[in-house]
Amino acid sequence: MVSAVDTESSSSSSDVVVSAQHLVKVFRDFWRRPKVRAVNDVSFDIRRGEVFGLLGPNGSGKSTTIKMMLGLLHATKGQLRIMGRSPHDVHTKARVGYLPEESYLYPYLTSAETLHFFGRLFDLGKAERERRIDQLLEMIGMQHARHRVVGEFSKGMARRIGLAQALINDPDLIVLDEPTSGLDPLGCRQVKNLIQTLARRGKTILLSSHLLADVEDVCDRIAILYNGRIRAMGPIHELLEQRNRFRVTLPEELPAEQLQSILADLRARLADEPEVDHPRVDLEQFFLRIIEQARSESQAPSGTTPARDIAAYLSQDAGTPPSVLEQLAANQPQEESSRPPAPPEPEPATPDPAVPQPRDVNERLKHLTSPPPEE
Amino acid sequence: MQSILAIALISIRNAIRSKLVIVLLFFLLITLAGLPLTLRGDGTAAGHVRLMLRYTLGLSTLILSIATVWTSCAAISTEIRDRQIQMLMSKPVHAAQLWLGKWLGLTAMNAVLLFLCASVTYGALLWTTRPGQLTEEERTELTEEILLAQRPLTPISVPMQNEIRQAYLDSRQRGEWPEEVTTSQIMPIIERRVRARIHSVAPGSFNRWTFRTPRLTAPDRPLLLRYRIGASTLDLEPIQGQWQIGPPGSGTRESYPVSATPRTWQSLLIPADLINSDNQLTIEFANTHARPVTLIFEPEDDLRLLVYQGSFLPNYARAILLILLHLGFLAAIGITAGAWFSIPVAAMFSFYMLLLLQAGRFIGQIATREVHVAQSPDVSWFAETIATGTYWIYALVNLVIQPVYAINPLEPVSAGEWISWAEVGTMLVIRIFVYSGLLMLIGVWHLRRKEVALPL
């Protein structure tokens, strides 16, 4: 087991949004005999503004842990505090947004009615609900399906409505159980961007997934669960980084003789043969570029329309402008600089030279999701 | 409050999507449209109106009761089954708000449906009794006997203790009972005999009863004596007799000859000025039947003096309110049962409760009678224990259901008998505030403990 269980001793307790200590959940049979120990001595803290990922295979205890956090299941042992209170406290629940693993919505309600219903559970006034629903539907690209009943939706569309209802109360803690399940790659990217944006706005996010790429893209810290126990936990870059190995990226268009010379020099200095290969583009980036190219040539797909800016009401730090994609674009260089430089992209998908190419993923996404040019 | 209303609305929308409810509503429609046109009572206008009120509205109430039990059982249990409850309970919704929202939604839906049923029935009643449809005499009979609200009075009870005691001593002296039969076993039988003797009218004699009347709200309106003659004969030939009504020995008494088939209800209009200055009305029945037949009047069942108290429509509205309270109570049972069990189990439990409520009078009769197990070597201790245990179960069930048991309000309203606001208020307190409140507490307690996201 990787012993990266950090205690966050330096952070003040007021910064801890979720505190789970020695959590145990035993499911019992009809006769109250212990049947399954779904969660076994799990401890973790989640701090304010953090994106925390619960990672694990099916049946590892992710959803059970989440449901205990929401008061839907009772812990057999251990202590669980959400924002310093019991998870069963209605005041706690007023500050939590939850997207379950399946969107358990009322199939006969329209999108707007669904969001109104959940808005009313938070005692939001009609005008405020209308305002938030407009922004949320716009944000998830479902404005056109405002009056369509949820029962007619594809899984991806229902998922988007599920996500919108999780945000209707402008929650401080957002619990997302498999948020990208059922979404196409575009939708996945949008949701991941949204998670990052929400985190920037001070929201604390707990993400449960078995899709490793999702977790890697957005989480600050992760806990890997297996058989009800945490097997590894810590900041994602610390867990993944191999500190005793190095990768060297050479400039593009390096002449072959110069490369041979560098390799010869390396061979002379190292006992082992150095590994040399061509870098590969991330499949998601590749996919987005292909779709981008296709979009410039045709109409938008049916179903959802392109997602827009984040809902403006979702609380933000002072001084943050409301349009988040603009902010994203502005912030992107600093954001990108903290990550390893993207490898050069190979040839196969050549973008249309007539279409101006955005510089980064988020800009490209925004460009991608904008309405197609009139024919 | 907003969340309660939101849950109430969603529970209505859930309910009207249940296929069973749709089928029941279809039956309701057929009942409302078909029954008033097809009912043919005993050939009299009063009989037709009574049947229309009892059967059309009675059947509608039964259909609404079944629909209420089903929808209320499904209200929470389907949300648990379909896991929508996970979305609800992860929001700031207290279990009490969830329970109340469900109950309010179903009760509001019942109120609307019941109002529709009551309106249609009342409309059909007005239509079938409109001028031109009935003779003037029939219309007068209706307005003076059925389509009004009259307070029912029973005769002042006569002290019987001395007579019962004397009858007991006489029967012991005659050696009528074996030695091992105890006094407490004999007394109820003796009491019934004495009661029958006191209220019977021997051939060629008469008997007298006195009613204490309240302050009359309409002194010019006549009183109505409703009676039924029991006879010591199985013949159906009409009994001959005579009513003498008014203060005994005064010149203001009125005589009314009688010719009535045994065990059938009869009515007699009595002028209000026959009540004496002490607000008492004395009636005497003389047995003038040609053959020697003893006549019996059970004073609590067979003799009723009805005093005008108000018009029909408000009385009808109070009866409808009582039905609504009954449906509200059923909804409370169903919602709490649905919080504990899956739909089939909850529905079975709730229908059993409904059955117990309907059998309230029967259970009351069993539970209030003393049980005696014969002291005989033939009766094993096991049989004795079972008999005693069963009695105590009945007594316990009776203790729980008697406060909520009430006769079907359509019976008095279809007989022109008054339902007071006090009755409605009492039922509101008992059925809704006390019993439904208790059921809510049980349901909320369970919902707070329940793990709604357990693997199914």
pLDDT digits (tens, 9 = 90+) for B102-116: 999 999 999 999 999
B444 interaction partners in chain A (CB closer than 8 Å): none
| pLDDT at A351 exceeding the cut of 80 | no
Q: Mean pLDDT, to the nearest integer, of A286-305?
A: 68
Does A248 map to a domain? no
Give yes or no: residues B305 and B443 share one domain.
no
Residue of B nearest to A25 (CA): B454
| pLDDT at B421 exceeding the cut of 90 | yes
Q: How far apart are the first and last CA of chain B?
A: 32
Regarding predicted confidence, which is higher, B442 or A337?
B442
Give yes or no: residues A63 and A152 share one domain.
yes
Give yes or no: residues B176 and B302 share one domain.
yes
Domain hosting residue B124, numbered range: 2-150+312-449
Tell which of B309, B326, B348 closes a domain.
Answer: B309
Does B85 map to a domain? yes
Q: What is the mean pLDDT of chain B?
A: 88
Contact flag B90-A93 (C-beta cutoff 8 Å): yes
Number of domains in chain A: 2
Does B455 map to a domain? no
Cα B450 from Cα B103, distance rounded (Å): 19
- B13 CA to chain A: closest CA distance, Å? 9
Give yes or no: residues B131 and B156 share one domain.
no
Q: Which of A120, A167, A168 to mutate to test the interface with B (most CBs of B within 10 A)?
A: A120
pLDDT at site A357: 43
pLDDT at site A295: 72
Give yes or no: residues A225 and A316 share one domain.
no
Tell which of B266, B286, B309 closes a domain.
Answer: B309
For A90-132, how does the pLDDT look when each residue is reduced to its tens digit (9 = 90+)?
999 999 999 998 889 999 999 999 999 999 999 999 999 999 9
Residue of B nearest to A74 (CA): B451
Give yes or no: residues A176 and A306 share one domain.
no
Output the six-digit token pair for A280. Answer: 């590969």
Does B350 map to a domain? yes
Beta-carbon-side half-sphere exposure of residue A292 (alpha carbons within 13 Å): 25
Number of domains in chain B: 2
pLDDT at site A321: 41
A108 interaction partners in chain B (CB closer than 8 Å): 13, 17
Between chain A and chain B, the number of residue pairs with CB atoms below 8 A apart is 76
For B238-268, how does the pLDDT look when each residue is reduced to its tens digit (9 = 90+)?
999 999 999 887 778 899 999 999 988 898 9
Which of B23-37, B204-218, B320-334 has the highest mean predicted lDDT (pLDDT)?
B320-334
Q: What is the mean pLDDT of chain A?
A: 79
| pLDDT at B101 exceeding the cut of 90 | yes
B451 interaction partners in chain A (CB closer than 8 Å): 72-74
Provide, rounded to the nearest whole percent, the portion of chain B with pLDDT above 90: 47
Contact flag A121-B92 (C-beta cutoff 8 Å): yes
Tell which of A240, A272, A298 closes a domain.
Answer: A240
Give yes or no: residues A291 and A236 share one domain.
no
Range of lowest pLDDT (A118-132, A295-309, A357-371, B132-146) = A357-371
B87 interaction partners in chain A (CB closer than 8 Å): 98, 100, 104-105, 118, 165
Q: Mean pLDDT, to the nearest integer, of B173-179?
A: 84
For B275, the 3-state DSSP assignment is coil
Give yes or no: residues B124 and B238 share one domain.
no
B453 interaction partners in chain A (CB closer than 8 Å): 67, 72-73
pLDDT at site A302: 52
Cα A121 from Cα B96, distance rounded (Å): 13
Give yes or no: residues A126 and A21 share one domain.
yes
| pLDDT at B175 exceeding the cut of 90 | no
For B329-378, how does the pLDDT look when each residue is reduced to its tens digit (9 = 90+)?
999 999 999 999 999 999 999 999 888 888 888 888 877 765 555 555 56
| pLDDT at B91 exceeding the cut of 90 | yes
Give yes or no: residues B297 and B330 share one domain.
no
Cα A150 from Cα A167, distance rounded (Å): 17
pLDDT at site B375: 53
pLDDT at site B265: 87
Residue of B nearest to A175 (CA): B90
A72 interaction partners in chain B (CB closer than 8 Å): 86, 89-90, 451-453
- B91 CA to chain A: closest CA distance, Å? 5
Contact flag A121-B6 (C-beta cutoff 8 Å): yes
Give yes or no: residues A51 and A200 share one domain.
yes
DSSP state of A202: T
The string of DSSP letters for B330-380 reads HHHHHHHHHHHS-HHHHHHHHHHHHHHHHTHHHHHHHHHSPP-----TTS-
pLDDT at site A189: 87
For B205-238, how does the pLDDT look when each residue is reduced to its tens digit (9 = 90+)?
999 999 999 888 888 888 999 999 988 877 778 9
Give yes or no: residues A329 and A224 share one domain.
no
For residue A146, give the CATH number of its domain. 3.40.50.300
| pLDDT at A354 exceeding the cut of 50 | no
Give yes or no: residues B143 and B158 share one domain.
no
pLDDT at site A343: 36
Give yes or no: residues B162 and B204 share one domain.
yes
Does A107 map to a domain? yes
Does B164 map to a domain? yes
Contact flag B10-A117 (C-beta cutoff 8 Å): yes
Give yes or no: residues A152 and A17 share one domain.
yes
Contact flag B10-A71 (C-beta cutoff 8 Å): no
- A284 CA to chain B: closest CA distance, Å? 32
Confidence of residue B5 (pLDDT cuts 50, 70, 90): very high
| pLDDT at A233 exceeding the cut of 80 | yes
A91 interaction partners in chain B (CB closer than 8 Å): 92
pLDDT at site B135: 83
Contact flag B86-A100 (C-beta cutoff 8 Å): yes
Which residues of B sit within 8 Å Cβ distance of A? Answer: 2-3, 5-7, 10, 13-14, 17, 82-84, 86-94, 448, 451-455
pLDDT at site A333: 34
Confidence of residue A366 (pLDDT cuts 50, 70, 90): low
Does A214 map to a domain? yes
Give yes or no: residues A311 and A228 share one domain.
no
Residue of A nearest to B5 (CA): A120
| pLDDT at A300 exceeding the cut of 60 | no
Give yes or no: residues B108 and B186 share one domain.
no
Does B401 map to a domain? yes
pLDDT at site B231: 87
Facing residues of A206 across strands? Answer: A52, A175
B14 interaction partners in chain A (CB closer than 8 Å): 106
Does B299 map to a domain? yes
Tell which of B309, B324, B343 closes a domain.
Answer: B309
Contact A104, B83 (CB under 8 A): yes
Spatial CA neighbour of B149 closest among B428, B426, B424, B432 = B424
Give yes or no: residues A224 and A296 share one domain.
no
For B204-213, how does the pLDDT look when each residue is reduced to its tens digit (9 = 90+)?
999 999 999 9
Domain hosting residue A31, numbered range: 13-240
Does B217 map to a domain? yes
pLDDT at site A363: 56
- B18 CA to chain A: closest CA distance, Å? 12
- Report pTM: 0.81
Does A115 map to a domain? yes
Provide, rounded to the nearest whole percent, the portion of chain A with pLDDT above 70: 77
Give yes or no: residues B62 and B145 share one domain.
yes
Kindly provide the ipTM of the predicted complex, given to two decimals. 0.78
Confidence of residue B93 (pLDDT cuts 50, 70, 90): very high
For B215, the 3-state DSSP assignment is coil
Does A3 map to a domain? no
Confidence of residue B41 (pLDDT cuts 50, 70, 90): low
For A3-24, how does the pLDDT look when each residue is reduced to its tens digit (9 = 90+)?
444 444 444 556 899 999 999 9
Does A354 map to a domain? yes
Does B454 map to a domain? no
Give yes or no: residues B305 and B355 share one domain.
no
Does A258 map to a domain? no
B84 interaction partners in chain A (CB closer than 8 Å): 104-106
Q: How would you class A132 by CB atoms within 10 Å of its CB: exposed for 0-12, middle for 13-18, buried for 19 or more?
A: buried
Give yes or no: residues A48 and A172 share one domain.
yes
- Element housing A261 (H / E): helix A256-269
Give yes or no: residues B172 and B26 share one domain.
no
Q: Mean pLDDT, to the nearest integer, of A201-210?
A: 90
Contact B335, B122 (CB under 8 A): no
Regarding predicted confidence, which is higher, B277 or B91?
B91
Q: Mean pLDDT, to the nearest integer, of B92-107?
A: 96
